[in-house]
Amino acid sequence: MQKNTILALSLLGSQLINAQQQNLVKYVNPLIGTEKMGHTFPGATVPFGAVQLSPETDSIPYAVNHKYNPRVYDYCAGYRYEDSTITGFSHTHFNGTGHSDLGDFLIMPTVGKLQLNPGTAKNPESGYRSRFSHSTEKVEAGYYKVKLDDYNVIAEMTASNRVGFHQYTFPKSDQSHIVFDLNAGIYNYDDKNTWTYVRVVNDTLVTGYRQTRGWARNRTVYFAMTFSKPFKNYGQKNEDGQVDYKGFWRKWNQDQNFPLIEGKNIKMYFDFATNQDEKVKIKFAISPVSQSNALENLNAEIPHWNFEQVKEEAKQNWNKELNRIQIKASEDHKTNFYTAMYHAFINPTTYMDVNGQYKGLDQEVHQAKDFTNYTTFSLWDTYRALHPLFNIIQPTRNNDMIKSMMKHYDQNPIKMLPIWSHYANENWCMSGYHSVTLIADAIVKGTYNGDANKALDACIVTANKRDYEGIGDYIDKGYIPAEKNGTSVSNTLEYAFDDWSIAQAAKKLNRMDVYETFIKRSENWKNNYDSSIGFMRPKLADGSFKKEFDPLSTHGQGFIEGNTWNYSFFVPQDPIALMNIMGGKKSFTKKLDDLFSMHLPDEYFADTEDITREGIIGGYVHGNEPAHHVAYLYNWAGQPWKTQEKIRTILDMQYKPTPDGLGGNDDTGQMSAWYIFSALGFYSVQQGADEYAIGSPLVDHAVLNLENGKQFEIEVKNQSKKNVYIQKIELNGKKYSSFNLKHQDIVNGGKIVFYMGEKPKK
């Protein structure tokens, strides 16, 4: 290298370092969380991509003849590692949810006798499904491969943002088929399809749409599908039978090759003759708006048939995002960390075509100007750590997500920010109104680049919807009478915290009247605290506490996804006040100790949702979110070493580099974001404060490559499985004695050094 080149490079400074991308995708294992309750999917997607092209191993209907089937949630992600057959590959999946939907447009290559039903796992020959073995799977970020044993077909898939790319290597056969099942799906029930529509435009291009009333009551996904090779024949079977495009008049005497197909329950097939090892490729684009937009997406994103190129681009796309945080750690920790990064960067998903059009909550087509529209907002989960993480390392996307939420608000005749929203629908799932919290977090940290006052106004309006989930009573009485609402306590606690975040944003914007109102509301948590038992407890309209109450139970006690042992600590806005009300430091820390050390009897575990037995530490439930901040509360009680110890215990026990490695649903990245924060040594306890609580870093070293071009470096000296206790901290070369890390100290760039030891530093 010539001297002047070296000079030039050194002058480039941090940009150069940003450019030094490491090969991090090799640490991503998308199979983590596919076993037991993780509800992750193993298939191909790109960061925040609209398409998640992934295998389905079975499908449990939500209900048959309106009889609810609780096992439906086993298949939230379509794929379960425990299974031994694959029914096909579909294009849309949530990452790690506890509720479900999607699974649109299932494609399955088959050979031999044509079958249009999936058949059963016990008897795979009864349908189009195939046996498979994990030994033939190759699962990478942006790439999935498996051998379909029953057909001797190698299935490979990759994706761009809006296009799934299939590559099927067939044996020699005159009876090779692509089955296209528009009736298959996740969270299906008798009548889930509202309508499906297919146009066979020519012998390589098919377009159409699927409209469903699933969890989202009214969801339409349009598609355009191209084949690399013309099909010989095609046909359909409308299981509904009542209505198809040939109509009441039955004018056509052909069942095959009829190019316009409509109905509720359509299954199609496309026939090919294939040579040995012949590859049949399919590009499958989706759109929220139209068939023509789907086709435009397809041609814009993948205008060729080079599967390897798309696979490589997907990989580089992931690598670029993963390099936002570069760590040094053991191989297993790197796998956990970068798989967590991978899972954190799947949802929310792009919900906009390449031309900027998207469907709004008003079911109208809108044109996005100067932002990317996102959907899949599981906000009860993600306001805690995922969006705060984005606020640091994905601020552009976090801004666009908030703008998407503001569009939701504008398009919503109810004028309410999203609660749980996907695909232009509001699902009203879980308690609280946490969109206000992540918006406040962005306002307070100064990262929101939209109209902050308008966003705060939307938060205020949302927080005053008196007819929603007891908000009126909450405002009037300071709590929600237990008679009126099944989750009266979790709602009150979460509203109070959300109100505190609104107050912080108001303060930042110097709107002190708003601040006063909401800071007062933020104290409402006190109204559900029963000092006689030392727990949060449902309160009746007459002001008395509900008599029958079981602190160990999750159901029917006024909470959701957590018992009062977990929820009683849900006052992140004021841990000191909580400590005081609980009897002071000693009493408070004892209660925290008890939480982590108690035994939760099996009968109580059984009614704890969405987690595995391993998802519990004592009575602390990490597999659900309400207590995600709790281990950090020791900091406020002057026992940070217990935070450090608990954090490392949770990191070790709840995250493993194996398919069953997650102790509960990944919850669209919240569990993963908790891991990323905590592994780096800090966590967002108070969304809406401009600081983070320090825990115990798991990494040996980390660099956060920020979008502003700056870097924040984390060095962890003497870190080991035993050396989990912080002995000393230096920030930018100076001793740092606080257990809070300022947001500005991160985004301004700099370096923090943790000195670790095996003994608590009391």
List of residues contacting its own copies (CB under 8 A): 66, 194-195, 197, 199-201, 207, 209, 211, 213, 215, 217-218, 242-249, 251-254, 258-260, 262-263, 290-292, 362-365, 412-414, 419, 426-429, 467-470, 484
**Distance of closest approach, residue 244 Cβ to its own copies, in angstroms:** 8
Q: Which is nearer to its own copies, 411 or 453 (CB)?
A: 411
Q: In what order do the strands lie in the sheet with 325-328?
A: 325-328, 701-705, 711-717, 750-757, 725-731, 734-735
Nearer to its own copies, 140 or 426 (CB): 426
- Spatial neighbors of 170 by CB under 8 A, at least 6 apart, are 109, 111, 153, 176, 272, 274, 275, 277, 278, 279, 280
* Smaller CB separation from its own copies, 113 or 250: 250
Element (H, E) at 603: helix 602-605
Q: Minimum CB separation from its own copies for residue 251, in Å?
A: 4
Q: What minimum distance in Å lies between the beta carbon of 469 and its own copies?
A: 5
Q: How far is the CB of 426 from its own copies (least distance, A)?
A: 8
Contact 740, 692 (CB under 8 A): yes
Rounded-to-integer distance, Cα 355 and Cα 84, Å: 41
Closest separation in Å from C-beta 661 to its own copies: 31
Q: Is 399 helix (H, G, I), strand (E, B) or coil?
A: helix
Number of residues assigned to the chain: 762
Tell me the C-alpha to C-alpha distance, in Å, between residue 61 and each of 58, 64, 151, 214, 225.
Answer: 10, 7, 26, 11, 27
Q: Which one-letter DSSP state was computed for residue 218?
A: S
Angstrom distance (rounded) from CA 96 to CA 382 = 12
Q: What is the largest CA-CA distance in the chain?
A: 86
Q: Least separation, in Å, of the C-beta of 576 and its own copies?
A: 33
Minimum distance of its own copies from residue 66's CB (angstroms) = 7
Q: What is the C-alpha to C-alpha distance for residues 246 and 718, in angstroms, rounded to an integer?
A: 74
**Structural contact between residues 341 and 677, judged by C-beta atoms closer than 8 angstroms:** no
Q: Which is nearer to its own copies, 427 or 711 (CB)?
A: 427
Quick one: which H or E segment has residue 694? strand 691-694
Residue 237, φ and ψ in degrees, nearest 5: -135, 125
Per-position b or e across 579-595, b if 16+ CB within 10 A of its CB = bebbeeeeebbebbeeb
| Closest CB 417 distance from its own copies, rounded Å | 14
Query: Which CB, 217 or 586, lies closer to its own copies?
Result: 217
The nearest distance, CB 344 to its own copies, in angstroms, is: 26
CA distance linking residue 742 with residue 698, whole number of Å? 20
Task: Choose among 246, 105, 109: nearest CA to 178.
Answer: 109
Shortest distance, position 379 Cβ to its own copies, whole Å: 14
Determine contact, residues 503/456, Cβ cutoff 8 Å: no
Task: Give me the residues paired with residue 327 across strands.
Answer: 702
Q: How far apart are CB 555 and its own copies at their closest, in Å? A: 16
Residue 75: φ, ψ to 5°: -110, 30
Residue 263 vs 661, nearer CB to its own copies: 263
H or E segment to which residue 506 belongs: helix 488-508
CB of 79 to its own copies, least distance (A): 24
Shortest distance (Å) from residue 205 CB to its own copies: 10
CB crowding 286-325: b at 16 or more within 10 Å, else e: bbbbbbebbbbbbebbbeeeebeebbebbbebbbebbbbb
Distance of closest approach, residue 166 Cβ to its own copies, in angstroms: 23
- Closer CB to its own copies, 200 or 752, in the complex: 200
CA angle 67, 73, 74 (to 5 degrees): 120
Instruction: Output 199 or 728, the one with its CB closest to its own copies.
Output: 199
Are 21 and 319 in contact by the 8 Å Cβ rule? The answer is yes
Of 245 and 545, nearer to its own copies (C-beta) is: 245
CB closer to its own copies, 471 vs 699: 471
- Rounded to the nearest 10 degrees, what angle do helices 452-462 and 488-508 cross at? 160
State the angle between helix axes of 452-462 and 435-444 in degrees (0 to 180), rounded to the nearest 10: 150
Using the minimum distance from each CB to its own copies, give the nearer residue, 365 or 598.
365
Which residue, 373 or 696, has its beta carbon nearer to its own copies?
373
H or E element, residue 572:
none
Q: Which is nearer to its own copies, 411 or 658 (CB)?
A: 411
Task: Please report how close the Cβ of residue 361 comes to its own copies at its closest, in angstroms.
Answer: 8
Pairing, β 750-757 against β 711-717: parallel
Of 614 and 625, which CB lies nearer to its own copies in the complex structure? Answer: 625
CB 501 within 8 A of CB 685: no
Residue closer to its own copies (CB basis): 61 or 640: 61
